Amino acid sequence: MAPRTARPPSPLTLALAVPAALGLWAGTTAYASSAAQGATNDVTARLEQVFRSTGLLTVKESSYEKGFLKSTHRMIVQPIGAEDDPTTGWEVVNHIQHGPLAGGTLARAVVDTEIRFLDPEIQAQLDKAVGGQKPRIHTVLGLTGSSVTDLNVPAGQVQSQQDGGQVTWQPLTGRVETGSQGRLTGYNLTWPGMQFTAGNAGGNALQVGQMTLNGNQSYSSADDLIGVGKSEFKVAQLASTDALGQTAQLLNLTVGSETTLADPEHYDILTRYELGTLEVLDTPALGGLQLHLGMRHVARQPLQDMSRMYEKIRQQALTSSEGGVKFTPEQEREMEEVYSRSLLGLLQAEPVLSLDKAGFTNPGSGLQLSGQATFKGLAAALGEGGGSGPDNMTDLGNAMLLLPRYLQAQLTMRTSPETIEALNNMGGDSELNAADLVSSGTFRTEGNELVADFGYQDGQITINGKTLPGY
């Protein structure tokens, strides 16, 4: 191989180094989870399988030196296709202290992980950027099989020697906890933010405010692969400025989800997106943007069956030496049968799709939407409990054709005359008038609000209880 021409890494390359390290941190979490279930010397093989199963990474070298109190596990991890380049990839070193008194801690084992880039230029730049401090990945494997992994990445700054571009980031901290079955039970990650400023490209800048990721999960038994819990991701600010000084920013972005048991046989699954403020160039700012979605009365057993099939496929990937899985025709038929049966089971439970909240709220204006869609009568049509109705179907394709017949939907819109006026002021040929909208029956008044109810059932569309002509 011809020698490479030495060149300093770009700020973008170095900026990507942090998320790359986080990706390998996910590997150490898998390491901890696996270690909770088996002997430490078996975990090294499991960790290698985790990387290979991604289809993106391969373990080129692996060695394990086992001692009475301490052991060391080393790996060279590279992207698939880059195995012949000795400077592409990472060296992962796990320093393992064996319990029950591992490094003075009452635990099955304590693992400290080091990750270094194979490219000496990138590694040297990163060492300089963080002032010689090292990221810390520290895992404690409990005596009962649980684990706690802590991550600390020091603050740093990198500046390009070519164009003066600069990347600055604040210290990142995080924790991942797993239970005795090796499954995720809790996590939190906090990053105060980062800034990127372009050099000769014109002075474009990007600023990311504090980011947090938190969540928890619990399981009813060893056979429960889904569990219940919630997670939340927040970004305080994301702002960009171009060479002309024009800015765009969003403030207080939140993405969350929650899974609960509505009753012993059904889940409620909720997802929410919220944005405090959105400002784009000279357009009026939008505030209080919200989108809350729900799936209620979701049958538990079909979801568990689908999860078991997914876990079976994942385990096959973990044990594959080539990465990924090649299925036999029999396995493909089994998957098709499980997924088809599970989807039919979900439909038979007559789930409720809900729009809990959507819209925006600004001083003097706003718009809110809410509604839901159900499939009343679908269970009987699909022959639940051995029923033999005229529409009894067992084929998933035919079942999907039945959905429009049993769909019942309703949507409520709430706004104000001031919002209608604001829409007119935004330009265009449309001249909406609140009084005309009320007189036409599209909206009705409730105090200072304009309200409209839309519905769909038996092939008919209604507005405020009146059937729309032509339907």
Of the candidate ranges 9-13, 126-130, 325-329, the one whose mean pLDDT is the lowest: 9-13
pLDDT digits (tens, 9 = 90+) for 83-115: 788 899 999 898 988 878 777 788 888 889 999
pLDDT band, very low/low/confident/very high, at 138 (cuts 50, 70, 90) = very high
Q: So what's the pLDDT on residue 280?
A: 83
Residues 403, 459: Cα–Cα separation, whole Å: 12
Closest CA to 110 of 100, 123, 120, 119: 100
Q: Give the model confidence (pLDDT) of 416-438 as tens digits.
A: 988 888 777 765 555 778 888 89
Out of 30-44, 67-81, 377-391, pick the least confident.
Answer: 30-44
Q: How confident is the model at residue 39 (pLDDT cuts 50, 70, 90)?
A: very low
Residues in a beta bridge with 342: none
Q: pTM here?
A: 0.79
Pair of tokens at residue 111: 């693992």
| Mean pLDDT taken over the chain | 81
* Cβ atoms of residues 130 and 155 within 8 Å: yes
Q: What is the pLDDT of residues 247-288, one digit of tens each?
A: 889 999 999 999 999 999 999 999 999 999 988 876 777 888
